Amino acid sequence: MKFASVRVVTRDIDGLVDFYQRLSVMEAVRPADGFAEMRFEGATLAISSEHLIKLFNVGAATAAANQSAILEFEVEDVDAVFERMNASGTNIVMPTTLMPWGNRSLLLRDPDGNLVNIFSLPKS
C-alpha cells in the first residue's frame, strides 16, 4: 500500500489553492473543475470544492470543519516561510519556535482554519 494523498474540502477552492501555492512556492495542477492537486515529493495535497462532494458523495465531508488533523510540511528554512506567510497576512498560530526535540516549527491556519505545521529537522 502507498499513502498517496490527503484531500481537503473547501467552499473556496481558489482561495485555498492560492494559499498553498504561496506556502509551497509551486503551482497547483488542476485536472478538473473544482479540483486541484499540490504534488509534493512523497505525497499529494488534493483540494476539492465542496460542490463536488455534494455531487458525488453527499454528506461524506464538510468544508472547513477539521478540528483534529494537522497538515505538516518539512522545509529547509522555516524562518523564510514565516516571513513570506506573515507578510501575506496569514493567521500565525505559533511563530517559529525551537521545539524540545530539536525541530524548528511554525504553526499556521489556512483560510479554512486547518492547522498547518511547517518544520525543519535539526541540523546534523
DSSP state of 113: -
107 and 115 Cβ atoms separated by less than 8 Å: yes
* Spatial CA neighbour of 5 closest among 43, 52, 40: 43
C-alpha cell at 111: 483560510
Question: Percent of the chain having pLDDT more than 70?
Answer: 100
Count of domains forming the chain? 1
CATH of the domain at 50: 3.10.180.10
In the sheet that 115-120 helps form, which strands lie side by side, from edge to edge?
70-74, 115-120, 104-109, 91-98
Structural domain boundaries, residue 38: 5-120
| pLDDT band at residue 15 using 50, 70 and 90 as cut-offs | very high
| pLDDT value, residue 105 | 98
Q: What is the DSSP string of 8-67?
A: EEES-HHHHHHHHHHHHTSPPEEEETTEEEEEETTEEEEEEEHHHHHHHSTTS--TT--S
Residue 58 pLDDT more than 90? Answer: no
